[in-house]
Structure 1
Amino acid sequence: MAVVARTRAELSLNIEQYLKGEAATGAYSAHKETTGSPQLVFIFPGQGSQWPGMGQELLAHEPVFAEALSQCEQAMKPHVDWSLLDVLTKEQEQALLERIDVIQPTLFAIEVALAALWRSWGIVPAAVAGHSMGEVAAAYVAGALSLEDAVRVICRRSKLLRRVSGQGAMALVELSLQQAEQVVAHYSDRLSVAVSNSPRTTVLSGETAALEEVLHNLEQHNVFCRRIKVDVASHSPQMDSLRDELLSVLDGLDPQISAIPMYSTVTGALCTGREFDATYWVRNLREPVRFASTIQQLAEGGHTLFLEMSPHPILLPAIAEGLRHSQHDGFAFPSLRRAEDERGVLLESLGALYAHGYPVDWRKLYPKGTCVTLPTYPWQREHFWVETHETTQRPRGTHRNGVPGSPLLGEHMASSIQSGVHYWETVVSTATLPYLNDHRVQGQVVVPAAAYLEMALTAAKETFGAGLHLLEEVTFTRMLVLTEEATQTVQVVLSDTMPGIVTFQISSCLSPSPSNKEESEDRANKIKSKKTWTLHASGTIQLNTDEKPNTTPTRRGGSGVEKGGDPWVALGMGAGTEDNASFPAELNNLPAGFNLQVKETISGPTFYQLLQEQGLEYGPSFQAIEQIWQREGEAIALLHVPEEVLNQANSYQVHPVLLDACFQVFGATLSQTTDKGSSLTRKRGTYLPVGLRSLRVHTYPDYLTGALWSHVLLKSQEIQGDQTTWTADLELLDTQGHVLLEVQGLRVQQLASETHNPQQKELSNWLYTLNWHPLAPPAPRHHKSSQELEIVEAHIPKVEYLQSPPQVGTWLMFTDNCNRAAPGLQLQILLQARGERCITVSPGKRYEQLDSEHYLINPASLPDYLQLLENVYAVDSPLCAGIVHLWSLESASTAETTLATLETAQQLGCTSVLHLVQALSLIGWRDLPQLWLVTQGTQAIQEQNVRAGLAPALLAPALLASALLASALL
Structure 2
Amino acid sequence: MTIAGEAAALRELGARLDEEGVFFRDLDLDYAFHTPAMDPVKESLAQALAGLRPGKCQIPMVSTVTGAAVDGPELGSAYWWRNVRDPVLFARAVGALTGSEVDCDVLVEIGPHPVLGTYLRRAGAGLSQPVAVIPTLSRVLAGPDALDDAHARLLAVGAQVDWSVSFPPPGKAVDLPAYPWQRGQHWNGRPDWWLEDAAPEAAAQERHPLLGARQPVATPVWRGRIDPDALGWLADHTISGTVVWPAAGYVDMALSAGQDVYEAPVEITGLTIDRALTLPFDDPGMDVELSTSLAADGEFVVSSRTGELGEWNDHARGRARRLLRDRSPSLDVDAIRIRLPEAVSREEHYTACAGAGLSYGPAFRILSVLHTGRGEVLAQYEGVLDTAPGHQAHPCLVDGALQAGMPLLAGVTDGSCPFLPAGIETVRCWRPVARSGLVHVKSRRVTAEKAVWDITVSDAHGAVSLELLGCRLRRFATGSRPSPQRLTEVLRAVPLPGGPPGPRRCRHPRRSSPLARRT
Using the size of structure 1 for normalisation, the TM-score is 0.29
Using the size of structure 2 for normalisation, the TM-score is 0.50
Higher relative contact order (Cα pairs below 8 Å, separated by 6+ residues) = 2
